[in-house]
Amino acid sequence: MAPLWLTTMIAQARPSPLSHESATPPQLALLVTCFALISIGGGGIFCSLAFGADQLNNNYKGRGFLNKACIITNNDNNSSRSVYTIEQVEELKAIIKARNFKLTNPSRLFSFFIMISVFITAGVYDRLIIPLASKLRGKPVRISAKNRMGIGLFLCFLDLVVSAVVENIRRRKAIREGYIDNPEAVLDMSAMWLIPHNVLNGIAEAFNAIRQSEFYYTEFPRRMSSIAAALFS
């Protein structure tokens, strides 16, 4: 990506847009080198994905009843029951297994609150706050991307404050129960204390991350859209 970025920054690395001349051999060599490096990197990523897929075991116990969906019986000749392929049934088993993993993994479960907060905040802002503010002022109201990013950063600060308060409560409880010198002890404290942190994190993400993407894509020219995406990621 770095050499490809240089073609947008260095005028000698690309043909002039004001002339109809073709690219020079060094310019073409630089472009082909960029594509080659991207292909090698992409190939490495795709190989790792395939390796991870090979580690999955498709013989899922407890979901054998789904096999009936791909079995044809004598009674199916006169019925409207749909018959599915073995591949479709196995894909459904994989989806069910993945969903069960997410629901039984606490860290995955708490990320749900972040996603829900992002969706709700984005929807409320676009469909409720902005129309209501425009109606009260009698003219269209628009908060700039920079201001919305500032709101997101302020909410990130509040998130850190809330996390510090929760950690202080947890630490004091651990001291009272005599667990201060036992790092492997399980404290009798509800995990729901983490919800305010996740909710604030999601609200801040809705204001900051989404507006960062909008900011980069509006400030950069179209030919540098890939650079804008790289800066956002």
Q: How confident is the model over 25-36, as pLDDT tens digits?
A: 888 888 888 888
* Total domain count, the chain: 3
User: Rounded to an integer, what distance in angstroms lies between the CA atom of residue 129 and that of residue 206?
Assistant: 14
List C-alpha distances in Å: 83 to 72, 76, 80, 165, 169: 7, 9, 9, 56, 57
Same domain, 116 and 199: yes
For the chain, the average pLDDT equals 75
Domain edge (last residue) among 45, 78, 104? 104
Q: What is the pTM of this model?
A: 0.52
List C-alpha distances in Å: 154 to 33, 158, 210: 43, 6, 15
Residue-wise pLDDT for 99-127, tens only, equals 554 445 556 677 888 888 998 998 898 88
- Specify the higher pLDDT residue, 13 or 75: 13
User: Rounded to an integer, what distance in angstroms lies between the CA atom of residue 104 and that of residue 115?
Assistant: 17
Same domain, 112 and 205: yes
Same domain, 109 and 84: no
What domain range includes position 69? 59-104
Same domain, 96 and 111: no
